[in-house]
């Protein structure tokens, strides 16, 4: 539990670092809805630091994969659907990582072609970017990744509440952040359905509350582990004291020829 809690806290905190850097140097996430040509131009201007920041943003999901797996192993024998929930969660993380890695290994080449190429090259770069952006970004990373993450959050929060590992307020935070995060899906559909009403803050607010919940979850697991350690320590102390108390009693019995 202590290792699992540490991985949850580490994963959640690390996500804030590249996310904050991208908001500063690349105007993320607002930049994602700009014209393709402007996105490619801005990306090319960002250079190597921007490429490495996107790579870091993808890689910080690795601690959470370990946390999901360890927590699932702890609960899968207590709640029947936990193994399925763990699989859903890991898939959600992986597809988000795959979607983010397009900024490291695909977009840089398209940006170079767009900035340095002729009109034909620019048109081809724009078309390629729109294709990979809608499929790798919107469909996989944002749509499938977020839906699977929301499903994992609801299922695991319910399982932990049922087993007494999560208080009611944390369960409510999991449900609330998931509901807000789900509203962000309207923005994704709005990229192909013009005029669809969207809540601009849903993605930022939902993801932020979800990260807060992850940190709270990690701290909760630390608390459970500490309580478990104190229980074992007290039990061991009682066992030792009982043994020490029994020694003179045994000596008295043997000295008196009694049989226990």
Provide the pLDDT confidence category of residue 225 given band limits of 50, 70 and 90.
low
Least confident of 48-52, 126-130, 197-201: 197-201
Task: Give the per-residue pLDDT at 26.
Answer: 95
Q: Which band of pLDDT confidence, cut at 50, 70 and 90, is reported for residue 87?
A: very high
Residue 175 is predicted with a pLDDT of: 97
For position 229, what pLDDT does the model report? 46
Q: Do residues 18 and 53 touch, judged by C-beta distance below 8 A?
A: yes
Domain ranges of the chain: 2-231
Tokens (6 digits) for 159:
């399982």
φ and ψ of 6, to 5 deg: -65, -40
Instruction: Count CA atoms closer than 13 A to 6's CA, side-chain side.
Output: 4
Q: Please compute the mean of the pLDDT values over residues 232-252 and round it to a whole number.
A: 41
Return the percentage of the chain with pLDDT > 90, whole number. 79
Q: How confident is the model at residue 259 (pLDDT cuts 50, 70, 90)?
A: very low
Predicted confidence at residue 29, as pLDDT, reads 86
Average pLDDT over residues 251-260: 43
| Alpha carbon distance 210, 89 (integer Å) | 14
Q: pLDDT tens, 130-145? A: 999 999 999 999 999 9
Answer yes or no: are the C-beta atoms of 31 and 42 closer than 8 Å: yes
Residue 226: predicted pLDDT: 55
SS3 content of the chain, % helix, strand, coil (to 5): 85, 0, 15
How far apart are alpha carbons 78 and 65 in whole angstroms?
21
Higher pLDDT, 149 or 242: 149
Question: How much is the pTM?
Answer: 0.84
In the predicted model, what is the mean pLDDT of residues 182-188? 94
Under the banding of pLDDT at 50, 70 and 90, the label for residue 124 is: very high
For residues 19-26, give the mean pLDDT: 94
Sign of the alpha-carbon dihedral angle for 218, 220, 224, 229: positive
* Burial (CB count within 10 angstroms: exposed 0-12, middle 13-18, buried 19+), residue 190: middle
Q: Within the chain, what is the greatest distance between any pair of CA atoms? A: 107
The per-residue pLDDT of the chain, averaged, comes to 87
Q: Which residue has the tokens 């999991």?
A: 174
Give the number of C-alpha atoms closer than 13 A to the C-alpha of residue 209, restricted to the C-beta side: 21
pLDDT exceeds 70 at position 224: yes
Contact between 70 and 4 under an 8 Å Cβ cutoff? The reply is: yes
């Amino acid at each position: 539990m202590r290792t699992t809690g540490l991985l949850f806290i580490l994963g959640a905190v690390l996500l804030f670092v590249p996310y904050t850097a991208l908001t500063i140097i690349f105007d993320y996430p607002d930049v994602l809805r700009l014209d393709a040509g402007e996105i490619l131009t801005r990306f090319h201007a960002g250079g190597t630091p921007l490429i490495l920041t996107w790579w870091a943003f993808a890689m910080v999901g690795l601690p959470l994969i370990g946390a999901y797996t360890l927590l699932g192993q702890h609960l899968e024998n207590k709640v029947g659907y936990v193994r399925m929930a763990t699989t859903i969660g890991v898939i959600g993380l992986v597809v988000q990582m795959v979607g983010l890695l397009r900024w490291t290994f695909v977009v840089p080449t398209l940006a170079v072609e767009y900035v340095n190429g002729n009109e034909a090259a620019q048109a081809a770069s724009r078309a390629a970017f729109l294709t990979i952006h809608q499929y790798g970004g919107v469909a996989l990373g944002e749509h499938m990744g977020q839906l699977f993450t929301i499903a994992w959050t609801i299922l695991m929060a319910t399982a932990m509440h049922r087993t007494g590992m999560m208080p009611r307020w944390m369960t409510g935070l999991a449900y609330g952040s998931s509901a807000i995060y789900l509203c962000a899906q309207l923005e994704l559909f709005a990229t192909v359905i013009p005029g669809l009403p969207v809540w601009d803050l849903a993605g930022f607010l939902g993801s932020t509350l979800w990260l807060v919940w992850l940190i709270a979850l990690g701290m909760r697991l630390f608390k459970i582990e500490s309580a478990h350690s104190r229980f074992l320590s007290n039990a061991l102390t009682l066992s030792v004291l009982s043994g020490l108390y029994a020694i003179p009693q045994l000596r008295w019995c043997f000295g008196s020829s009694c049989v226990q």
